[in-house]
Structure 1
Amino acid sequence: MAAAPAAPVTPASESVSAPKQASRPAAKPRLKRSADAATGVRPKREPMSKVDTAWLRMERPTNPMMITGVLMFAEPLQLAQLKKIIQQRFLSYARFRQKPVENATGAQWVDDEHFDLDWHVRLSGLPGRPGKSSEKRALERFVSNLASSPLDPTKPLWQFHLVERYQGGSALVARIHHCYADGIALVQVLLSLTDTSREPKPSARLDKAWLKHEAAPVARRVGAMQRYMKLGGKALEQGMAMMQDPSLATLLAKEGGDIAKELVHALALPDDPPSMLRGKLGVSKRVAWAEPLDLEEVKAVGRACGSTVNDVLMAAAAGALRSYMLERGEPLDGMTLRATVPVNLRPLEHAKKLGNHFGLVFLELPVGEGNPIRRLQRVADCMNQLKNSRQAIVAFGLLAALGMAPHPVPELALEMFSRKASAVATNVPGPQQPLYMAGSELRDIMFWVPQTGSIGLGLSILSYRGQVHFGLIADARLIPDPDAVVRRFGEEFERLLYLTMMGSWELPLDADAAFALLQETAST
């Protein structure tokens, strides 16, 4: 598959805006068959895993396969400081000095003999006048342009863009291709660039600090690791067996039982219903993020409603989409949309190994349900069913099979599965203590994973320092004003919080009574 075009090159010291969107894919580099003419030494290369190859092949001009993150600092961060951190910590992962090269038999990681740190770590500036709201809008536009611009396939597929002056501090935009690792792992890689104090001691164990108590919540929310640990690793072995066997018929005969049922179920899912969230995609992305929520308040709503934090947040996201779609005249009676949700299949302390180790499940978003409490109950019911399914391990095996299959099989399969959902949704728990980079306090953090195939909407949730951050990335043709969606996220949560506070703490919250109370309050 031809790779997407490279972003234009600008000097590292120049203050620039985001690169312009390229319009035509460039040819992918091919492996050299002979030794380098200057040194006589062939560059080091190693095979790429089949799952990582699948994500490399999913690259499209309409959906670049990048994970994009924004780190906002309370104090200014200098370019020289950032480069030093990238050199010492980010590049301690040897993989980030390598670029993926695809040929007829698969893909390989190849050392970049002309690696240039100045090209990968850039200084950028935002246009417009200073001011909290105007600077936020300018940064959102800047990130939108970067999220729309594919990385240069002739170099390692990652870049950092430092905005030195942002709301009294600085902002750092990171772009890393999905073939290097999944979103959960790459968030941990970004956090590994930080410290837990302004002046860390040389002996500080950073990994113990930012991974503490984090692996279990991820597993509980998506129903993966606890289940697979109880199975004694059997499920992961099944996934690896699927990776080795691209034949669907052999797979069904070999695995049978629950795995086969889950596969048949996934293939039999009907396409998501037509809506304004589906349509022909363009090459421009739009991103926005909301004001953070208090994590303790989210937990309180979850306890009152007998649901998890993840259930509450996804229900609020569904409510925000519902409100936005209704305002634009979309008929929603009884409509349910699906979102694909990544399921982590390894402990976070193994993130340093990089690679993609996750499956996918289909979460139902009941946008046609007007009752906020009933909407939450439906999301919780769906999530509970997913916890007892093997959808994630089936998806992991299918991704591996796609990485082995010849063209055009991956394209056809990707299109088929992407029609079954209207969004990608991720929820990653971050550290709850303050973090610092080169002495600058990390104030906020947000990230977005790429959308696949014909999906044009991504929902991202990340918790940090007792707050929950919600962000959205969308195809500009589908949602040109994502800020109109993200501001509704807080409003929908406030409705849930209000109903929780008004209900009885001794009895389960009655959805119909709560909704009647909400309507009565709104009419007065």
Structure 2
Amino acid sequence: MSSSRTMPAADTAWLRMDRPTNHMVITSVMTFDEPVDLDRFRALMQERIVDPFPPFRRIVTAPGPLSAPRWADDPDFDIDLHLHRIALPAPGDRGALEALVGDLMARGMERERPLWDVHLVEGLGDGCALVVRMHHCIADGIALAQVLLTMTDAAEPDPSAVERPARPGRRLPLGPLAGPVGALAGLGRDAASALLHESMRTVVHPARLLELGREARDDATALLTLLTVPSEHETLLKGEHGVAQRVAWTPPLPLADVKAIAHATQTTVNDVLLAALSGGLARYLADRGETEDELCVMVPFNLRPPGRPLPANLGNRFGLILLALPLGDRPPGARLAEVHARMRAIKDSRQPAMSYAILGVMGRTPARVQAWVMDLFSAKSTAVVTNVPGPREPVRLAGVPVREVLVWAPCAGSIGMSVSIFSYCDHVTVGVMTHASLVPDPELLADAVTAELGALGRATAQPSS
């Protein structure tokens, strides 16, 4: 039975962000030390992803220039049109795989089919790799990682854990600013519902007035921050870029070493990894005669309630935080302390919820208006940095142990770099995607991040005087 549904506004915004130099496609790489059987993988993909999650068998339709896009069942859906079996070019090592992944990232998606594909790459030594690509309008990167892990032996799906699509009109978690922001985008119904809800709560609980006042202040501060952060100036990492992309990643790094640094400095694992990235960026620039005191990055922030299963229709449910990474000529310990202080300052920020609301507004505006807003915000950032925690124990896919996992968010607007931090099986891997015209050698940047993490370890291991 055919079905059709209107695409939510935030997902529509991601659909319309595609540009020839930046396709809004999330890319995941999984590597294996043994071959993966394609027939067994196809059966897993069908049973655990295509069947439970409708967007993987739906196409995007546009009823008219002023109408919202819709999801509709693909009457000619064939899973084999999305599964590609290819051989890794010589010499069949990680460098060859990195080059292949970079080439795939530069490709867009055919709008006539469901917006995803998988490449089974054979000939990676004695093993293989899976390169999974999915358009951002289907779901965010955190959701994609969860979906992929439903195919692994350690993440058997529970049929009861797949929600039915939520009813439309659900109120955004923005407190008193949800009404005004929504009204500007034609969200009168949602705003009226939110206003009635808050009015009833205030009548029953008068103290809610004080809470609303605090929320209004915090929302206003978050919006002001997002609007007033200055644009990044051109550097070796930020500027005009072409289509060609490059990818590289570190070997799996022991998570125990990262935790030891965090424990010794009373910081967090996330602080340590961001400090290593900051130092790696500083090293890369310094080796090329350029010094920057700081660079701003966008960090996705999951807005889904913890422990809740993914909805069947997936979608995007995340916001963004603008974080200034400390670069310059800082000692590793001082850099880590600065990252920790900055992360604490934005820990309870309303930026994620506010940026999610802005995405919803963008999805309801004309495409030219959205492009202008996207240029405004992407100019404020040099890179996108995602940090996704994976399984702590080894997992198997189609009976084969998974060695590595990486998930890259796409670069929107004028952003030219995406950094993936993925922890799995007591190790963490840092992957860098760059545009070749800006950073033609991302492997050196990955090496610089590894070197900075080592410097942090040595600095914290030294006895205090």
Query: Normalization by structure 1: what TM-score?
Result: 0.77
Change (3 A) 1:403 1:195: same
**Cα distance per residue 1:177-226 (max 9 Å; x no partner):** 00001110100001111113xxxxxxx85569x9xxxxxxxxxxxxxxxx
What is aligned with 1:432?
392
Measure, in 2, the Cα distance between the counterparts of 1:477 and 1:349.
41
Give 1:98-497 correspondences, 5 Å limit: 98-102=58-62, 103=64, 104-130=66-92, 135-196=93-154, 205-206=156-157, 235=173, 241=179, 244-247=182-185, 256-332=216-292, 335-346=293-304, 347=306, 349-353=308-312, 354-497=314-457
| Letter aligned with residue 128 of structure 2 | S
Q: Give unpaired runs (5+ residues) of structure 1.
A: 1-40, 197-203, 211-232, 505-512, 514-524
What's the secondary structure of 2:407's corresponding residue? strand
Deviation at 1:389, TM superposition (A): 1.6
Equivalences, count: 426
Change (3 A) 1:284 1:136: same
Measure, in 1, the Cα distance between the counterparts of 2:268 and 2:41.
37
The 8 Å contact of residues 369 and 375 in structure 1, kept in 2 or not, is answered as no
Q: Give unpaired runs (5+ residues) of structure 2.
A: 162-170, 196-214
The 8 Å contact of residues 246 and 405 in structure 1, kept in 2 or not, is answered as no
| Letter aligned with residue 231 of structure 2 | D
* Alignment counterpart, residue 20 of structure 2, candidates 46, 57, 61: 61
2:11 is equivalent to residue 52 of structure 1: yes
| Letter aligned with residue 6 of structure 2 | P
Deviation at 1:469, TM superposition (A): 0.6
Measure, in 1, the Cα distance between the counterparts of 2:186 and 2:462.
53
The 8 Å contact of residues 172 and 178 in structure 2, kept in 1 or not, is answered as no
Deviation at 1:388, TM superposition (A): 2.4
Change (3 A) 1:249 1:44: closer
Query: Normalization by structure 2: what TM-score?
Result: 0.87
- What is the Cα-based RMSD across aligned positions, in Å? 2.3
What's the secondary structure of 2:337's corresponding residue? helix
What's the secondary structure of 1:398's corresponding residue? helix
Deviation at 1:487, TM superposition (A): 1.0
**Cα distance per residue 1:278-303 (max 9 Å; x no partner):** 11121111111101211111011011
Deviation at 1:349, TM superposition (A): 3.6
**Cα distance per residue 1:128-182 (max 9 Å; x no partner):** 135xxxx111111110010000011111000000013322122110000000011
| Letter aligned with residue 479 of structure 1 | V
| Letter aligned with residue 50 of structure 2 | L
What is aligned with 2:168?
none
What is aligned with 1:72?
31
The 8 Å contact of residues 429 and 462 in structure 1, kept in 2 or not, is answered as yes
The 8 Å contact of residues 71 and 444 in structure 1, kept in 2 or not, is answered as yes
| Letter aligned with residue 32 of structure 2 | F
The 8 Å contact of residues 448 and 459 in structure 1, kept in 2 or not, is answered as yes
What's the secondary structure of 1:312's corresponding residue? helix
| Letter aligned with residue 86 of structure 2 | S
What's the secondary structure of 2:367's corresponding residue? coil
Measure, in 2, the Cα distance between the counterparts of 1:373 and 1:449.
29
What's the secondary structure of 1:193's corresponding residue? coil
RCO greater where, 1 or 2, for CA within 8 Å and sep 6 or more? 2
